[in-house]
């Protein structure tokens, strides 16, 4: 994959890379000694003088991952040269770990890239817990990922979730403002604690039935397990969440779906909104005889 432009001014290659091609300084430094910068088809250093009309290209191909490439079912909601959005099912891990090196979304996505002849790597922009389902966005190269990461840090990603919870919040809508910390140094779980990092979640009641509620949740910060921790802390834990609540219905996974993701495209700069085809519902109450 390449980035390219026709130079409109005389300048050193570095400002052309940083301004015309909007590359991050981190990416420029990483590619600097990889012969990835070309001017009129010839390898060039960042201090090379570019003239008007010169073709500037950047090779973005990256080394293949160390984890296995596997075939697996993927529900693709959107794809272009820079981004891909997947409708992740519950039970699927995002990425391999030392404990599990296969059977994850990343393994399947690398398999898809291999089958379709795309020289891309997996760069998650948004992430979901194993049993949370819905829209996840991934970049296809480090350049697009870097620009999306900046947007994420600046609060430019609009995330909307739907959840089924036990009980009901006070009022039709509100803001949960409660700091989140690691439960203990060796634990992966989180809790609300005064020495934690600031965390804010907006909620809106959509429906209520027989002791359960259907909520819309919008994380205003991006803490690990934020929605699950906040809901449990406020007294309305997410149904099916074995770590932060209890489940009297015996459901196989937590009822939390990333229903919508809004963002500005890193290259076209157009606002986009991608929606999941999955959903949560209070209908399970009838099937469980409640």
Show which residues are catalytic.
129
Strands 133-139 and 256-264: parallel
Contact predicate 122/137, CB 8 Å: no
What value, to the nearest 5°, has the Cα angle with vertex 274 and ends 272 and 128? 120
- DSSP E strands: which ranges in 76-157? 76-79, 83-88, 123-124, 133-139
Sheet holding 55-59, edge to edge: 2-6, 55-59, 37-39, 42-43
Bridge partners (DSSP) of residue 12 are 49
| Cα separation, 190 vs 192, whole angstroms | 7
Contact predicate 55/42, CB 8 Å: no
CB atoms within 10 A of CB 64: 12
State whether residue 27 is helix, strand or coil: helix
State whether residue 243 is helix, strand or coil: coil
């Amino acid at each position: 994959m390449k980035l390219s432009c026709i130079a409109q001014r005389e300048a050193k290659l570095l400002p052309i890379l940083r301004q015309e091609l909007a590359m991050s300084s981190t990416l420029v430094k990483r590619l600097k000694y990889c012969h990835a910068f070309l001017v009129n088809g010839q390898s060039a250093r960042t201090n090379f003088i570019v003239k008007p009309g010169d073709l500037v290209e950047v090779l973005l191909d990256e080394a293949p991952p160390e984890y296995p490439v596997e075939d697996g079912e993927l529900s693709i909601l959107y794809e272009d040269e820079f981004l891909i959005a997947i409708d992740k099912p519950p039970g699927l891990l995002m990425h391999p770990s030392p404990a599990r090196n296969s059977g994850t979304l990343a393994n399947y996505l690398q398999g898809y890239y291999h089958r379709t002849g795309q020289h891309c790597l997996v760069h998650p922009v948004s992430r979901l817990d194993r049993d949370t389902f819905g829209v996840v966005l991934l970049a296809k190269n480090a350049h697009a990922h870097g620009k999306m990461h900046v947007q994420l840090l600046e609060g430019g990603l609009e995330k909307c979730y739907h959840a089924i919870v036990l009980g009901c919040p006070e009022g039709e809508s509100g803001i949960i403002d409660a700091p989140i910390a690691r439960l203990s140094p060796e634990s992966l779980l989180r809790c609300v604690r005064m020495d934690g990092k600031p965390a804010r979640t907006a909620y809106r009641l959509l429906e209520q039935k027989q002791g359960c509620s259907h909520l819309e949740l919008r994380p205003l910060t991006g803490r690990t397990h934020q929605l699950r921790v906040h809901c449990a802390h406020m007294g309305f834990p997410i149904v099916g969440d074995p770590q932060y609540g209890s489940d009297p219905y015996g459901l196989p996974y937590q009822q939390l779906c990333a229903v919508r993701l809004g963002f500005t495209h890193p290259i076209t700069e157009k606002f986009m909104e991608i929606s999941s085809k999955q959903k949560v519902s209070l209908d399970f109450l009838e099937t469980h005889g409640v």
